Amino acid sequence: MTVVGAVSAFANADIPHDCFCDCTDPSTKPAGKKVSYQNRIKITPQARYNICARNIEVTRAAQFLDKLLPNRILVPANKLTKKVNLSLKNRTFRQIRVSAGLTIKS
């Protein structure tokens, strides 16, 4: 049996090599070794992005998106323990945030 850790990848739809990835290896103790790769991604309302996130807690998704839009992502209290799977292509940041069940601080 293969155990897959939490994987998140976010890329600009027009420039796929402009991306941010965050993966956890569950075989390492205590909570998994984090491996990150980041290029500079600029969030704009009109830009389209691709995101793939498998089996991650909504709080981790919020932390992941917070790296792209610092101190603006909020997690509703009733969703703190939920896990999400996102596989979205050519979507705006707002559509991705709503699909993950997150809100934004205005």
Task: Classify residue 2: in a domain, yes or no.
Answer: no
Q: How many domains does the chain have?
A: 1
Task: Classify residue 1: in a domain, yes or no.
Answer: no
Task: Classify residue 44: in a domain, yes or no.
Answer: yes
| 35: pLDDT strictly greater than 50 | no
Q: Which amino acid is at 50?
A: N
Domain extent, residue 29, equals: 7-104
Q: How confident is the model at residue 56 (pLDDT cuts 50, 70, 90)?
A: confident
Contact between residue 99 and residue 90 where contact means Cβ atoms under 8 Å apart: no
Q: How confident is the model at residue 101 (pLDDT cuts 50, 70, 90)?
A: very high
CB neighbours of residue 61 within 10 Å: 28
